[in-house]
Amino acid sequence: MKIAVWVLSAALATAASAGEKRADLGGTWALVPGKSEMEQVRPGLRNLRLTEGPVTTAESAPEPLPDPSPAGFITDLRLEITQAEDRIRIVRRFTLEGRMGLVTQEFTFDGGRCLNVASDGRGEFASRSEWKKGKLLNSGTQTLADGPVREEHNVREEFSLSRNRKTLTVKTLIATPRGLVKLKQVFAPDREP
C-alpha cells in the first residue's frame, strides 16, 4: 500500500511540474541599458548599524567588489532564444573590450542537471531549470578557475515575459565569497536585421 501511495505521489508531482504554465520566451531580444540595473552588497554591510560619527571615510572604505559578471555591464547585449517543448536554447551576443563575445547555453525542462558555459563566458554553470508561475528559473553554481585557484558562485536567474511580449526581464542573483550581486536586465524585441 505504501509503495502505491509513493508511486501515485511521484506521478502527480511529475504531472504538476509538466503542467506548469510556460511562457514562450522565443525571439531575439536587445538589452535596454536605461532600464537595467546592478547592485552589489557586501555581506557585512547589510547588518551595519549607524552610531555617532562617520562609519567609513574615504581612506577606510572597503574596496568595491570585483565584478563577478562582466557581461552585466555590457550595453550591446542581444539574446537569441529558441524554445521547444522540453528545452530552451539561449545565445548571448555582445562586445567586451572591443571583441565580439558569443555564449550559447541550453537548459532542459525535465529537472535534470545541465552543464553550460556561464552566461558571462567565464567558467562552467551547472544548473537545473524549472517553471514557476510562468517564469523560467535557472539555479546552480558557476565555477571559475584561475590556475590552482578555484571559486564557486551560486547563481539564480529568473526569466519573465511581460503580458504584451514587449519586455523580457532577466533577474540574476550571484552569491560570491565577497558579497552579493543583483542584476536586472530588461530586453525589448530586437528590431535590427
Per-residue pLDDT tens digits for 170-180: 999 999 888 89
β-pairing verdict for 78-83 and 27-31:
antiparallel
Cα separation of 162 and 75, whole Å?
Answer: 21
Q: How confident is the model at residue 21 (pLDDT cuts 50, 70, 90)?
A: confident
pLDDT at 73: 56
15 occurs within a structural domain: no
17 occurs within a structural domain: no
Q: Let me know the angle formed at the C-alpha of 22 by 186 and 90, rounded to the nearest 5 degrees.
A: 50
3 occurs within a structural domain: no
161 occurs within a structural domain: yes
Range of the domain at 149: 23-50+58-189
CATH number at residue 27: 2.40.128.20
Q: How confident is the model at residue 55 (pLDDT cuts 50, 70, 90)?
A: very low
Q: Quote the cell numbers at residue 116.
A: 553550460
Say whether pLDDT at 169 is over 80. Answer: yes
Q: How confident is the model at residue 96 (pLDDT cuts 50, 70, 90)?
A: confident
Q: How confident is the model at residue 192 (pLDDT cuts 50, 70, 90)?
A: low
77 occurs within a structural domain: yes
Number of domains in the chain: 1
pLDDT at 122: 85
- pLDDT tens digits for 142-162? 999 888 888 999 999 999 999
13 occurs within a structural domain: no
